[in-house]
Structure 1
Amino acid sequence: MIRWFLYHTAEDPFAFPVGSGLLKLRLFVQNGQQLSCTVIHSDRYDTPGSEIPLPMERIGSAGAYEIHEAVLQSATGKCRYLFHVENPAGDYVWYGERGLSENREHAGSFQYAYMHRPEAVKLPSWSSDAVVYQIFPNSYNGGTLKGITEKIPYLHQLGITAMYMTPIFESTTDHKYNTSDYYKVDPAFGSTEDLKALVDEAHRHGIRVLLDAVFNHSGDTFFAFKDVLEHGENSRYKDWFVIHSFPVVQTPSPNYETFAKAVSIMPKLNMDNPDVADYMMEVSKHWVREAGIDGWRLDVANEVSPRFWTRFRRELKAEFPELLLIGEIMHDSGPWLRGDQFDGGMNYVLRDAVLEFFAEQYAGPVRFMEQLLHQEALCNDQANSAMFQLLGSHDTLRFLTACKQG
């Protein structure tokens, strides 16, 4: 029996709706075999023999495998399908839910049970072609929100359509990732009124505004953690954090979970605690209502409970459907971009590929293109269109600096 490498599963990012009654299928096939692929599909309840053949398009090579795609149409949203894969010599296999077989019936069929409408993820209307400008407030035009507001006409002239600011809430550091008060703009930057004025001026120039939300951890000066430091095991907030023992010790090594590794000023929040989740949900809604912001960039999103993010998306999108949600994930972000958590991610995987090719000159254009196709295939189309396609950020070297070092 022929044994080619083939891979598909009837779930995102290998099967996902792209519109009303439209299902995109993605198939990985062994590279170098010149294989042609056809998807045979029908309604799940149709009788055998009513299937429709649909040739698949070869998108390109991603190293050891090729990517083939097709978009099938279903009037009912209930899809049954399998693949017919053939080489130039006429050798072929059927590929279905039960694996590879030269016998069609033995291969079985994949089932996409039903295309529920919400599965065709609707992104904010402004997001897919947005040109985003990142601002680190502490070091931008005087380090204040008023200073940023003064520069909005200039940013508009540059062609910027959205800006993302790193944290602006009260904190003891210049980067503000150790939040003291989630409801207060840091006085060093200005006030809530200054933020409102900034957002209003940005909107007058057609620029959307995203803020940075830090829900993975707080600062050690956050009211709840201060209470734990004072009252120890008797604190009503002890379960807001992940504390291993009492009394709480901060130095030389904290006995509680933190951001990264032993960063004592950033205690990790227990987002599985309903009280913590409720608190942060209200924070996230407050600033959209109060200041009219257009989105959240979620810090260390991959270490926060997925249950919280599912709720986060559901509640925010219900009230603010045009709000953009971007997760900071510095590796493959596909698992968070299935339509139930974030709209897009910060595409550090793309940055890695671009750096490897342009700065490090590690490999040639073939590997570069393979990496781009591989990365694109890990997400559905909607998520890919909402990615922050960045070459650098406050967490990295500037791209030009990296190129010069390379």
Structure 2
Amino acid sequence: MGKIMNYNSWEDKAPFGALLVNQGMKISVNINENYNVHDISWVILKENVEISKVNLLRESKMYYRGEFDGFNDAGVYFYYFDIDIEIDGQIQKKYYGKSLENGETCEYLYENINKYQITVYEDYEVPNWYKEGILYHIFVDRFNNGNRTKKPNSPKPNSFIYGNWEDDPMYIKDNEGNIVRWDFYGGNLKGIIDKLGYLKKLGISIIYLSPVFEASSNHKYDTGDYKKIDPMFGDEETFKDLIDKAEKKGISIILDGVFSHTGEDSKYFNRYNKYDEVGAYQSTDSKYSSWYNFDQHPEKYDCWWGVKALPNINELDSTYMDYIIRDEDSVLRKWTEMGVKGWRLDVADELPQEFIKTFKKELKNVDKDAILAGEVWEDASNKVSYEQRREYLLGKELDSVMGYPFRNNIVAFLKKEITSSQLVNRFMQIKENYPKEAFKSNLNLIGSHDVTRIKTELNEDIDSVKLAVGFQMTFEGVPYVYYGDEAGLCGKTDPDNRKTYPWKNEDEDMIDHYKDLINIRKKYDTLIHGDTKFIGAKNDDIFAFIRERKEEKMVVLINRSENNQNIKLDFEENTLEEIDIKNSLKKYLESIFKENEVFDIDLKAKSLRIFNLKNLKEE
């Protein structure tokens, strides 16, 4: 007899997706006419606590509708349906929740219900400069050395300096796996200044720098002094010069804030007596002592993921909050007032909610147009960390998150691990759960310093890499380019994914591909601000979607197959005008023809095509 009820949250809930506080919603449910249903309830919960039970009203033999006035507080809510149905003369209760694949309903046992999610958020707006931007992530030591001699600035004691810029990176470790000598190439801030012209021509408008504060390592996630630029990178004057010269080219700077831990070799912990300050390791009377947790002073202390070199911070310690956020000369205020336009919070899951909220509030007080992004690896709308439901996207915390789900989805599709319909479902899950501003501000990355380089991930298949870039530059969200990906760098995980930028040995064809697609994105406002609708291509190898804003619509078609494919699209009273990806010029193609309002489109093997959908009534 089939399913008792049919409901799809992607189609039968209004409005679609996340809700503002106090915003009402309506749903409609279709009931199988072969069943005698006595009652249908829409059960709404906060975590596992029921907060409302709405009886759906019957509007016809098969349709039931329900309304809910809205939620008074921001948060992540859930719902399912319970149905009283007559079977063989007896009333039985059935439970319906969300399919694991899409927005459809499935019948479950009560204890195993997969519930629907509703994200309820306070209204907020992310600055346009960020949503309209192209972000470029620079790992400073590996990007460019701006010194005339090409020698590193202020080499650190007992460090390893590579003999050639092109050498492959490696770690020098002891028998226990501890790093005994940090390795450096000599990339610095002056080197970035020298390449601002290149980044501008590429189309970059945001530079996200890996940590630049003084630290022992090459990556600087072991902060030694939050208020000092690492001498190997330069000094405060050079950093200010970078900010100013970048701004003149329309490029904003974002810093990496590492606030869940410091380095053991820091002025705050000072395990190796490097600093004049009395550190927490040296004395329990240190003014920094309350920042850290010692089981037994000084050798046994809480550290980040068991790494002794990274002692954990009590982020809510009042003196730490003052130092980082609230003081007149706080870390946040010092660098933001200098001209930094935003921060990316490292390991946001490790930071308390109150810390992030306080940081966001103060950041906006200093510069209302500054942004706060965060490192979150999963769906950031429903993340549970340390048994606490996080509130990253509810309006008072993050403006943007690292889009690792975006990368995972794209890679899985291009490696043929999922079909195009499964890819649509994955994106729809995120689109349904994220507030609109969060979805439009999502950092759509395909590479970072923590994952395999995209070229290596896709088995050095250049055509597939180009398709991944095509996804980035046409999809909703902020494209995130990891330095060197555009130049054809390969690399497995750390340290192989942190090679130096291959100056004079770049893949010029790939760079041109990035330039062309960035140019197209910037040329068509719809590709930046437009909403996204997915097209059911009925072909496992073709992913298709529409970006639309006001009267303009852009159609994007991606064929991952090694074979030519054909797709038929039905758009009434419209014509398709293709964007030439190579030179960004418009042209009509004879290969596209229309019969009875259906476009018959040929797609070459592993190809991307972008069309501007024009209304015939306007012509």
TM-score range, shorter chain: 0.7 to 0.9
Give the counterpart letter for 2:430 in structure 1. Q
Partner of 1:160: helix, strand, or coil?
coil
Shift, 1:342, TM fit:
0.8
Shift, 1:228, TM fit:
1.7
**What is residue 12 of structure 2 aligned with on the other side?**
37
**What is residue 318 of structure 1 aligned with on the other side?**
365
Q: Does 1:257 align with 2:238?
A: no
**What is residue 134 of structure 2 aligned with on the other side?**
131
Deviation digits for residues 349-403 of structure 1 (CA, Å, limit 9, x no counterpart): 11111122223x2121111111111122221110111111100101111111011
**What is residue 215 of structure 1 aligned with on the other side?**
259
**What is residue 401 of structure 2 aligned with on the other side?**
345
**What is residue 444 of structure 2 aligned with on the other side?**
389
Q: Does 1:86 align with 2:30?
A: yes
**What is residue 414 of structure 2 aligned with on the other side?**
358
Paired residues of 2:29 and 2:65 also in contact (CA < 8 A): no
Counting only pairs closer than 5 Å after superposition, residues 118-197 of structure 1 correspond to structure 2 as: 119-142=122-145, 143-197=187-241
Provide the rounded CA distance (Å) in 2 between the counterparts of 1:265 and 1:210.
Answer: 26
Match of 2:68 among 109, 125, 130: 109
**What is residue 99 of structure 1 aligned with on the other side?**
53
Provide the rounded CA distance (Å) in 1 between the counterparts of 2:280 and 2:18.
Answer: 56
Provide the rounded CA distance (Å) in 2 between the counterparts of 1:369 and 1:80.
Answer: 27
**What is residue 392 of structure 2 aligned with on the other side?**
336
Q: Measured at CA, do residues 211 and 95 of structure 1 come closer, stay the same or move farther in structure 2, by a change above 3 Å?
A: same
**What is residue 404 of structure 1 aligned with on the other side?**
459
Deviation digits for residues 233-281 of structure 1 (CA, Å, limit 9, x no counterpart): 44443220132x12222xxxxx32222x211111111111111111111
Give the counterpart letter for 2:241 in structure 1. A
Partner of 1:202: helix, strand, or coil?
helix
Q: Measured at CA, do residues 239 and 71 of structure 1 come closer, stay the same or move farther in structure 2, by a change above 3 Å?
A: closer
Counting only pairs closer than 5 Å after superposition, residues 290-329 of structure 1 correspond to structure 2 as: 290=338, 292-329=339-376
Shift, 1:84, TM fit:
3.2
Partner of 1:228: helix, strand, or coil?
coil
Q: Measured at CA, do residues 181 and 283 of structure 1 come closer, stay the same or move farther in structure 2, by a change above 3 Å?
A: same
Provide the rounded CA distance (Å) in 2 between the counterparts of 1:275 and 1:401.
Answer: 45
Paired residues of 1:214 and 1:299 also in contact (CA < 8 A): yes
Paired residues of 2:130 and 2:441 also in contact (CA < 8 A): yes
Provide the rounded CA distance (Å) in 1 between the counterparts of 2:137 and 2:24.
Answer: 45
Shift, 1:110, TM fit:
3.8
Give the counterpart letter for 2:68 in structure 1. S
**What is residue 228 of structure 1 aligned with on the other side?**
280
Deviation digits for residues 31-83 of structure 1 (CA, Å, limit 9, x no counterpart): xxxxx6365xxxxxxxxxxxxxxxx6xxxxxxxxxxx45999xxxx9655543
Match of 2:298 among 248, 254, 257: 248
Higher-RCO chain (CA-CA 8 Å, sequence separation at least 6)? 1
- State the TM-score, normalizing by the size of structure 2: 0.50
Provide the rounded CA distance (Å) in 1 between the counterparts of 2:54 and 2:460.
Answer: 49
Q: Measured at CA, do residues 108 and 289 of structure 1 come closer, stay the same or move farther in structure 2, by a change above 3 Å?
A: closer
Paired residues of 1:346 and 1:390 also in contact (CA < 8 A): yes
Paired residues of 1:83 and 1:95 also in contact (CA < 8 A): no
Deviation digits for residues 283-338 of structure 1 (CA, Å, limit 9, x no counterpart): 01110112x01111110111111101111111111221110111011122223111
Match of 2:426 among 361, 365, 371: 371
Paired residues of 2:19 and 2:435 also in contact (CA < 8 A): no
The unaligned stretches of length 5 or more in structure 1 are: 7-26, 30-35, 40-55, 57-67, 250-254
Q: Does 1:288 align with 2:336?
A: yes
Q: Measured at CA, do residues 330 and 102 of structure 1 come closer, stay the same or move farther in structure 2, by a change above 3 Å?
A: closer
**What is residue 109 of structure 2 aligned with on the other side?**
none
Provide the rounded CA distance (Å) in 1 between the counterparts of 2:202 and 2:211.
Answer: 23
Partner of 1:370: helix, strand, or coil?
helix
Q: Measured at CA, do residues 103 and 125 of structure 1 come closer, stay the same or move farther in structure 2, by a change above 3 Å?
A: closer
Shift, 1:129, TM fit:
1.9
Provide the rounded CA distance (Å) in 2 between the counterparts of 1:162 and 1:84.
Answer: 44
Give the counterpart letter for 1:202 in structure 2. A
Provide the rounded CA distance (Å) in 1 between the counterparts of 2:34 and 2:248.
Answer: 62
Paired residues of 1:38 and 1:85 also in contact (CA < 8 A): no
Paired residues of 1:170 and 1:181 also in contact (CA < 8 A): yes
Paired residues of 1:124 and 1:324 also in contact (CA < 8 A): yes
The structure with the larger Rg is 2
Partner of 1:210: helix, strand, or coil?
strand
The unaligned stretches of length 5 or more in structure 2 are: 45-51, 59-63, 75-120, 146-186, 271-278, 382-390, 462-619
Provide the rounded CA distance (Å) in 2 between the counterparts of 1:5 and 1:387.
Answer: 32
Give the counterpart letter for 2:452 in structure 1. L
**What is residue 62 of structure 1 aligned with on the other side?**
none
Provide the rounded CA distance (Å) in 1 between the counterparts of 2:222 and 2:307.
Answer: 10
Provide the rounded CA distance (Å) in 1 between the counterparts of 2:214 and 2:233.
Answer: 9
Paired residues of 1:350 and 1:375 also in contact (CA < 8 A): no
- State the TM-score, normalizing by the size of structure 1: 0.75
Provide the rounded CA distance (Å) in 1 between the counterparts of 2:204 and 2:289.
Answer: 44
**What is residue 268 of structure 1 aligned with on the other side?**
312
Q: Measured at CA, do residues 70 and 390 of structure 1 come closer, stay the same or move farther in structure 2, by a change above 3 Å?
A: closer
Match of 1:28 among 1, 4, 9: 9
Q: Measured at CA, do residues 107 and 125 of structure 1 come closer, stay the same or move farther in structure 2, by a change above 3 Å?
A: closer
Provide the rounded CA distance (Å) in 1 between the counterparts of 2:285 and 2:17.
Answer: 58
Provide the rounded CA distance (Å) in 2 between the counterparts of 1:208 and 1:339.
Answer: 23
Paired residues of 2:392 and 2:398 also in contact (CA < 8 A): yes
Partner of 1:336: helix, strand, or coil?
coil
Paired residues of 2:24 and 2:67 also in contact (CA < 8 A): no
Paired residues of 2:223 and 2:258 also in contact (CA < 8 A): yes
Partner of 2:268: helix, strand, or coil?
helix
Paired residues of 2:27 and 2:67 also in contact (CA < 8 A): no
Write 1 or 2 for the structure with the bigger share of helix.
1
Partner of 2:303: helix, strand, or coil?
coil
Q: Measured at CA, do residues 328 and 316 of structure 1 come closer, stay the same or move farther in structure 2, by a change above 3 Å?
A: same
